Amino acid sequence: MDILRQLFREEEIKRLVLENDWLKIISKEQVRDIIRVLANEKCNNKVLRNIIFNYPEVLRKDVDELNELIYILKGYEIIHLEKLFDLYPLFLKKKGYEVDNFFFIKQKEGLNNIEIKKLLEEKPYLIDVTR
């Protein structure tokens, strides 16, 4: 958990591990790769702390799936991913096709891509309530 020591105090790490026992066995490379991908999207230490505290399972996410999610979001011209992930860390649970589905459903409701993009940036939790 050395990599997490750069973001958290020792007691915070202990609490995270206590609540998520799988953290004991996850590889340092996996944690580093996930943090690197998020940091490359301008997630600073404050944002990274918020993400990991609220959705620690992100550290188990497949790096390729995370990169695909980011690629699809950028394809819809959502540029400030750090704000999106900070506002709603559970967004990182999503897979790329779920973002595509959200856009498709909202287009059927009559919204254009600019309106959908704005909606997703301001209220990213709506991806969980749209069916």
> Which sequence spans correspond to the domains of the chain?
2-128
Query: For 63-97, what is each residue's pLDDT tens digit?
Result: 999 999 999 999 999 999 999 999 999 999 999 99
Is residue 131 very low, low, confident or very high in pLDDT (cuts 50, 70, 90)? low
For domain 2-128, give the CATH number. Answer: 1.25.70.10
Contact 120, 78 (CB under 8 A): yes
Query: For 47-68, what is each residue's pLDDT tens digit?
Result: 999 999 999 999 999 999 999 9
Mean pLDDT of 106-113: 97
Q: Calculate Rg over the CA atoms of the chain.
A: 16
Is residue 3 very low, low, confident or very high in pLDDT (cuts 50, 70, 90)? confident
Distance CA 24, CA 8 (A): 16
Model's pTM, two decimal places? 0.92
40 class by beta-carbon count within 10 Å (0-12 exposed, 13-18 middle, 19+ buried): exposed
Contact 93, 66 (CB under 8 A): no
DSSP state of 61: S
